[in-house]
Chains A and B, each alone.
Chain A
Amino acid sequence: MVNRLSSTMTASPAAIPSKSVKAGALPESRVRAFSLAWGSVLAVAATLVAQPARAQSMDYGALENLVGEPVTTAATGTPLRVSESPANMTIITADDIRRSGSRNIPEILSRIPGLNILRSSLSAFDIGVRGYQQPTQPRLLVLIDGRQVFLDDYSRTDWSNLPVNIDDIRQIEVVKGASSALFGSNAASGVINIVTYNPAYDDGIVVNTTLGTQEQRSVDATARLKGAWGGVKLSIGGLDAREFRTPRFPFDGNITPETPDGTEPPEHRYVAASSVLALTENLKANAEFTYTRSVSNFADNTDFNVMSVQHDKSYSLRGGLNWDGPLGAISASGYLNHTYVSIFVTGAGEIGFATKMNLFVGQIQDQFKIGVNHTVRLGIEYRYRDYKQYNDQTIIQRPHLVQNFVSFSGTWLWRVSDNIALSNAIRLDHQTMRQAGEINTTGVFDYEDYNHTNNEISANSALTYSPTSQDHFRISYGRGVMIPSLIQSGYSQIIDFGFPFLIDTEGNPRLKPTIVQDVSVDYSRRINSLFSTLKTSLFYEWSQNITEPFVFGGFVTIDGREALSNYAQNVGDSHGWGGEVQLKGEHPSGMRWDASYSYARVSDDDGVRTFLNYQDSAPRHHVRLLLGYSTGPWEFDASAHYVTKSGMIRNRLLSTEPVFTDGHTSLSGRIAYRFGDRYTLALSGTNLSQKVTQVSAFPAVERQVFVSLTGKF
């Protein structure tokens, strides 16, 4: 996080904003009063009346058993069979997860056409959608049971720090395409909703212990207890390992006497407790607490894509009510995420950086049917987030960015006829912000620049046509909004590196949100003679006002000294198109297969190419083949991936030319044997074809082999 000396020294593609332009600004007192009033009302509503998102109260298992296929709420907020979803959605089931042999979610997601996994260390991953890849990926919103685990600091997901037991996941719902009309900002290119088993409907104990290469050892356990009164669940787990010992660039990592290779051993600890209480037959309440902390070596997008070490720690509290009554299914919920991130950088004159963030979300929604063909969902949401920053400053600043959002949303699903359905969703976000901390106002931005509002509209529309029970056509449009990250909006640092001038690095409160729009045409067909489903998709996507942190912004005078300013800016637009084709099936004999090919081609404006270079960031071609076979107590699974070359800018301070990685093949596999009904012993591995594989411009990954024992009681 701006730990490295100096700036990019690259010409700014955007002008310095005028301090005199305050369009739409509200007096600070009014902003505060407004925020306080909304905060109070909705905090009370959400805590006392509070909800679970619909997903929390739904008995997925019973609905799934009923219709014989996975059921989801992720596409419209209402329960739907995945084959009838108005969004491009894939569901990874608990069986898929088990057979993958993987103990981390990104590797499991790598089997979905259109998703690209960027692995920069043993435990650091980023997931790009349809050609848009970068470290600290901001375009994909990630939720666990409807609660945001996406971090607003960089706008990213720390996959190494999720408070979830892999064996407690019922399904992972993946939506490709702009979806912020339903999920809120940052669902710009897609959403991943991780759905865990609901203790009100699923009980039992599951324990897994895994040992592997890289000194990896992990234990995960979940206990669920259900009764007529509801259910309770406790998950606990942890992982220790050593980092890959593969060559790194000299600028990567945080070199210290204790960590001469610039890395720290990856580590993760978590605990999650939740309960569901059936207060009456129609009224259910739930509560949840999670704690998680981790150490990982990750690629820092705000620091020119060099590798750093991060220590993340998060707490969350959630409560909610769900009432199924004459007015429909009404739910109210509230959750609070508190996250502390510290990036330790102590060598070579570098500076440590830390942030504290709070996110509070209160939601009330009602889902109801009008007649028999119209299903409507209306929702209101209040969202508060703030950000405090701690690092060395030559001129002392204590930035504290506060943002409030009030959003109104609605979805309307219309079954036009037996085989045609139309779904529409819209969301209006009203955002206010202020600088509640202490900043130097002689740089680029002052307090008044923070006092302004943004109003944004997200929308989705899809028409589905099913001429037979086996064929489904869908054409869809999405408009997603990606709110700038807290760092991009509120960072502030003035530092003397010994140059004749100071280095002034600032967030930009006047950044425009990135708008992502896409059009997709999809077709799927169930081919009974092949025991398979064929899925095809074509898409076109365009992104406007893409943001980049800390672009050179000219010289300013700070407290009488010349300073080189860098601040976040909108750097341009980008377009992408491509398609996916997948054939997935399972034969009654126990044989299963999943073969897919995806293509994505991105074209960036000059500004985007210089700073982010999306157009080379992900492989254009990706071929996947998964084969498996079950017989008696044995399970055999193998997967092979082939990707073409990709390129990533590694240290923009040194060069804006991408570092290319050649196309490569990777192999993974799992062999498992079940002892009785309770125990499964599995041998699995990833990147098996070579001892070391260069999968990206970041340090290469090593072959990994694991032995795991799982007990279910």
Chain B
Amino acid sequence: MSRTTFHFICASVFALSFLATGVYAQSSRDAIHVAGRSVLFLMPNLSGNVTTAIIYEPGDAASEKEARAIARSLSGGMNVGSLTLQPKRVASNGLEQLAGAKVAFVTRGTNYREIASATAARSILTLSLDPACTRAGYCVLAVSSDARVQILVSKAATSAARLKFNSSFLMLIQEI
């Protein structure tokens, strides 16, 4: 190896080391937005304004906090492709307000089983940030995004809600 080459490699390593000193933790991907984007892969496609329920447990601080965070992300309508998700807060003790909703975010602390029976009957796509809800077969889709985006879809919940996803989407994500 010539001296020029040696210097070139050393300079490269030094440059990378320098860059590494200025690092800070990378912010995690917004799981709410990812969940929102997954609506695009429903078949038949939804379009226009889509009422998106945010189901929370009244009196449960964590659930209400999560609901507020979701509402903030969707405030004013979240545009995803040819559709706009319009948020609507729904208390878990008022599930009759789900009428007209096509999509629902299910927050932690709610009774997943009761919500699943109400949403499946209305063919509502349920989204959650808690994979346990999907693993248990209550929520259709869960998103986690700590290190990288992970999308989980429950085949049983999808079938119970009489929903269908685009096949490319199903091959890309993890189905259980």
Contacts and interface: CB of A to CB of B under 8 A. Distances in A.
Contact of B40 (A62, A71, A663): A62
Contacts, number: 114
Given A469-B150, A623-B9, A530 B172 contact: no
Contact size range, B? 35 or more
A467 to B, nearest CB: 12
Contact of B147 (A81, A470, A585, A589): A470
Given A66-B34, A595-B16, A531 B9 contact: no
Nearest to A369: B170
A63 B169 contact: yes
Contacts of B8: 623, 625, 640, 642, 665
A281 interface: yes
A529 B171 contact: no
Contacts of A58: 168
A329 B167 contact: yes
A530 B26 contact: no
Nearest to A418: B174
A367 interface: yes
A262 B172 CA distance: 53
21 contacts: A59-B168, A62-B41, A63-B172, A65-B37, A66-B34, A66-B41, A66-B149, A66-B151, A67-B172, A324-B167, A367-B171, A372-B176, A373-B175, A375-B171, A469-B146, A587-B19, A593-B16, A595-B16, A625-B15, A627-B15, A640-B8
Contacts of A367: 167, 171
B168 A281 contact: no
Interface in B114-159: 145-151, 155
Nearest to B175: A372
A469 B148 contact: yes
Interface string A628-667: 0000000000001010000000000000000000010100
Task: State the main secondary structure of chain A at its contact with B.
Answer: mixed
Given A66-B151, A369-B170, A529-B23, 14 more contacts: A62-B81, A63-B168, A79-B168, A367-B171, A418-B174, A469-B146, A469-B150, A530-B20, A531-B23, A587-B22, A588-B26, A663-B2, A663-B5, A665-B8
Contacts of B22: 587, 589
A373 B175 CA distance: 7
Contact of A593 (B15, B169, B172): B15
The 8 closest A-B CB pairs, nearest first, are: A372-B175, A469-B147, A329-B167, A78-B171, A79-B172, A625-B12, A79-B168, A67-B149
B38 interface: yes
Contacts of B40: 62, 66
A663 B6 CA distance: 13
B91 to A, nearest CB: 30
A682 interface: no
Contacts of A470: 147-148
